[in-house]
Amino acid sequence: MTDKERSRQELVDFLRTIQRPDYSHAVIDEESGLVESGLIDSLALLQIVTYLEQAYGVDFSERGIDPEDLRSVNSILDLIAREAAS
Amino acid sequence: MFADLTCGALSELESGRSCSSQEIAMRVAAGAARLRARGLQRGDRLFILYGNNLEFFVDLLAAWNVGASVVPVDNRLTPFEVENLARTVTPKFALTDATVPTALGDALVALGVELLGSSDLAADAVPSANAFCAARLDDEALILFTSGTTGVPKGVVHTHRSLRARWLCLRQSLGIDCFRRTLCLLPTHFGHGLICNSLFPWLFGQDLIIAPPFSPYLLMRLGPIVDEQKITFLSSVPSMWGLSLKGSKPPQGNTLQRIHCGSAPLSAHLWGQIQQWSGIRAVYNAYGITETGSWVAGTSIEDFEPEDGLVGVPWGAVIKILKNADPQTPFADGAECRVAETGYVWINTPALMQGYYGQPELTDQVISGGWFVTGDMGLIDDRGRFYLKGRERDEINKGGAKVYPADVDAVVERFEPATAVCTFAIADPAYGQNVAMAVVLSRQDDATLRQLHGWLKEHLAEFKIPQRWYVVDELPQNSRGKVSRATVQEFCASLKPVDLVGLLRRGS
């Protein structure tokens, strides 16, 4: 499993722990908005921020949060890749 | 509207729509004329099913101009809950707009409530003769429902007199200058957001910038928003600050003069972080309860350091700490606590509610001789500073939104396979607290649990639905043989909760 695939799986596993219980889709669409699709409620974005800080050392206090970075699985993975490259 | 209250300008943060003070006056007059033409009269009650927009404030003042009282309704409630509220206060009309779920309107129509649209602010505002404001000081102005949406709703009734008293007390205690440009990020269906964050500054001529409540996308841009809008004041709840402190650049424009934080305990640590982020010392823990017209005390003292539990000094109230919460004999000899002794918090304020709607016995349980027992525990130290030490009230504070365990229990108890239930609070990293329940079921199979989830969704607003479930054989009792939420919470801490996500996915 590549690093990217591992990051994707770990992120999806994490999202499953904070998702709305009755989110009915078996698969999380990686391009759909996490809040817009109903997977999470909007305050759960804070838990994603904490996850990224703890798992990847992302320092949001320096860079701020761009809401687009947290919009979907793919956008979060892109953020993780950019942080790893910097 | 009362002659000496003149509103400021009003604008919406996201849409950019705005109304000047003069335009609002014309819109209110037109709105009042429209409502009168439809048959609204002094003494009638009106639901407003939307909030946090220009139309809400125009329609609120228009209804008051007619002399009606307004019930701001949280449109996240289920039709079941809204029906319950409507059966209690029998509104003549309900104002609705495109943001309101159709099912809520349908439920009200089925009860005989007539639906009207919100004011049409796109239409030309035509100056009209100012209709004499029909409201009297002691008329009902607002009914704010707190608990009981699934059972016997508890509606806090404020008159124009009690609201005005709150505003005048705040003006006397806090001044008005720092509220020059006020941002409201809180919902307008509850006391903190409506009475104090919005109406207090706005009705004293300050500008109000209104935003969708608790929008994380706004919170992540709070600093730039403060700069762009030249905000001088905002109020908040602790859970709002998680995203802003982590993700928003601090404001740079030096416009902020004051920040309040209330509706949930404010830790010294978070308090200090907000001061650091905002660049101002004037960050105050604002203590308030719907029954007292919200803000009734706070840290408006000159020299203070953030401390856990520190509230400060009364704002238009007298606070006493008594050894008992008994409304029959609150001031018996020796009833008052000593300096720094923890006891029950009682408040006397001219902004006290008129009572709970239709529940005089319940009102008598909390008001005695003009004194209101809050359900909070506190102390006053030797400097006269009030500290909050805990809450005896049975509520779960989910990010500032109050969830009443009894409301959840009442719904679960009506689910046929449920033989016992106890709802309780659990810690939550985002919200502070979240909702959990322990339930005894006559059938514990997956299908029954899924049916229970469907039952909860039908009868409870989503934010009230327990996020963690424990299916148990019996509810543990405390040493006195009673089921207490604290005992159940402790018991469940060592149990494995239901895998709700997996359960619902298997069934979908």
Which CATH number characterizes residue B81's domain?
Answer: 3.40.50.12780
Q: B285-302 burial, b if ≥16 CB within 10 A, otherwise e?
A: bbbbbbbbbbbbbbbbee
Contact B258, B232 (CB under 8 A): yes
Compare CB distances from B430 to A23, A46, A67 and report the shortest one's residue. Answer: A46
Contact between chains at A67 and B505 (C-beta distance less than 8 A): no
Structure tokens at A6: 């591992």
Report pLDDT for B215.
87
Q: How confident is the model at residue B127 (pLDDT cuts 50, 70, 90)?
A: low
pLDDT at B3 over 60: no
For residue B51, tell me if it sits in a domain. Answer: yes
β strands within B349-385, DSSP E: 355-356, 367-368, 371-380
For residue B164, tell me if it sits in a domain. Answer: no
Report pLDDT for A59.
85
Looking at chain B, which residue has its C-alpha nearest residue A15? Answer: B501
Contact B389, B395 (CB under 8 A): no
Report pLDDT for B331.
83
Pick from B345, B376, B393: which residue ends a domain? B393
Report pLDDT for B42.
96
Distance of alpha carbon B508 from alpha carbon B304, whole angstroms: 55
Mean pLDDT (chain B) is 92
Structure tokens at B83: 């029906």
Higher pLDDT, B504 or B116: B116
pLDDT at B1 over 60: no
Distance from the Cα of A13 to chain B's closest Cα (Å) equals 12
The CATH number assigned to the domain with range A3-21+30-85 reads 1.10.1200
Query: B155 forms bridges with which residues in the sheet?
Result: B145
Report pLDDT for A60.
84
Q: Do B17 and B88 sit in the same domain of this protein? A: yes
Q: Which helix (H) or strand (E) holds B311?
A: strand B310-314
DSSP classification of residue A57: -
| Closest C-alpha among B333, B310, B311, B308 to residue B322 | B333
Domain count, chain B: 3
Contacts of B487 (CB under 8 A, 6+ apart): B476, B477, B478
Distance of alpha carbon B508 from alpha carbon B506, whole angstroms: 6
Distance of alpha carbon B212 from alpha carbon B217, whole angstroms: 10
Give backbone dihedrals phi and psi of B327, rounded to 5 degrees, phi first: -70, -15
pLDDT at B124 over 80: no
Contact between chains at B431 and A43 (C-beta distance less than 8 A): yes
- The pairing of strands B233-236 and B181-184 is parallel
Compare CB distances from B508 to A24, A44, A66 and report the shortest one's residue. Answer: A24
For residue B108, tell me if it sits in a domain. Answer: yes
Percent of chain B that is helix, strand, coil (3-state, to 5): 30, 25, 40
Contact between chains at A60 and B399 (C-beta distance less than 8 A): no
pLDDT at B161 over 70: yes
The least confident of B84-98, B292-306, B457-471 is B292-306
Contact between chains at A22 and B504 (C-beta distance less than 8 A): yes
Contact B380, B196 (CB under 8 A): no
Contacts of B323 (CB under 8 A, 6+ apart): B334, B335, B336, B337, B343, B344
Longest dimension (CA), chain B: 69
What global pTM score does this model have?
0.92
pLDDT tens string, chain A, 86 residues long: the values are 788 899 999 999 999 888 888 787 778 889 999 988 889 887 788 889 989 999 998 888 777 888 889 999 999 999 999 988 88
Query: B436 forms bridges with which residues in the sheet?
Result: B424, B468
Report pLDDT for B130.
57
Pick from B372, B393, B414: which residue ends a domain? B393
Contact between chains at A64 and B501 (C-beta distance less than 8 A): no
Q: Do B480 and B499 sit in the same domain of this protein? A: yes
Q: Do B197 and B233 sit in the same domain of this protein? A: no
Query: B439 forms bridges with which residues in the sheet?
Result: B421, B471
Contact between chains at A16 and B249 (C-beta distance less than 8 A): no
pLDDT in tens, B174-212: 999 999 999 999 999 999 999 999 999 999 999 999 999
Compare CB distances from A60 to B239, B247, B429 and report the shortest one's residue. Answer: B247
Quick one: what percent of chain B has pLDDT higher than 70? 97
The least confident of B81-95, B256-270, B324-338 is B324-338
Distance from the Cα of A36 to chain B's closest Cα (Å) equals 12
Pick from B370, B393, B416: which residue ends a domain? B393
Distance of alpha carbon B103 from alpha carbon B120, whole angstroms: 22
pLDDT in tens, B314-359: 999 999 999 999 888 778 788 999 999 999 999 999 999 999 999 9
Q: Do B498 and B406 sit in the same domain of this protein? A: yes
Give B412-477 as a DSSP string: HHTSTTEEEEEEEEEEETTTEEEEEEEEEES--SHHHHHHHHHHHHHHS-GGGS-SEEEE-SS---
Distance from the Cα of A66 to chain B's closest Cα (Å) equals 8
Looking at chain B, which residue has its C-alpha nearest residue A19? Answer: B501
Q: Do B43 and B181 sit in the same domain of this protein? A: yes
Q: Do B49 and B80 sit in the same domain of this protein? A: yes
pLDDT at B99 over 70: yes
Q: How confident is the model at residue B126 (pLDDT cuts 50, 70, 90)?
A: low
Contact B350, B169 (CB under 8 A): yes
Instruction: Read off the pLDDT of each residue in B67-94 and give the average, rounded to a whole number.
Output: 96
Helix axes A73-85, A3-18, angle to 10 degrees: 130
For residue B48, tell me if it sits in a domain. Answer: yes
Domain that holds residue B135: 1-159+169-206
SS (H, E, C) B66-131: HCCEEEECCCCCCHHHHHHHHHHHCCCEEEECCCCCHHHHHHHHHCCCEEEECCCCCCCCCCCCCC
Structure tokens at B383: 């400097």
Report pLDDT for B131.
59
Contacts of B160 (CB under 8 A, 6+ apart): B2, B64, B135, B136, B137, B138, B139, B141
Structure tokens at B351: 């902004």
Q: Do B11 and B155 sit in the same domain of this protein? A: yes
Report pLDDT for A2.
85
Q: Which residue has the tokens 């054989």?
A: B473
Instruction: Read off the pLDDT of each residue in B461-488 and give the average, rounded to a whole number.
Output: 91
Q: A-B interface: how many C-beta pairs under 8 angstroms?
A: 65
Instruction: Read off the pLDDT of each residue in B126-136 and give the average, rounded to a whole number.
Output: 70
pLDDT at B4 over 70: no
Q: Which helix (H) or strand (E) holds B247?
A: helix B241-247
Question: Mutate which of B245, B431, B446, B505 to disrupt the A interface (most A C-beta within 10 Å)?
Answer: B505
A53 burial (CB, 10 Å; 0-12 / 13-18 / 19+) is: middle
Q: What is the CATH number of the domain that holds B472?
A: 3.30.300.30
Segments making up each domain of chain A, as ranges: 3-21+30-85
Q: Which residues of A touch B452 (CB under 8 A)?
A: none
DSSP classification of residue B249: P
Q: How confident is the model at residue B447 (pLDDT cuts 50, 70, 90)?
A: very high
Contact between chains at B500 and A42 (C-beta distance less than 8 A): no
Compare CB distances from A46 to B243, B249, B501 and report the shortest one's residue. Answer: B243
Contact between chains at B467 and A67 (C-beta distance less than 8 A): no
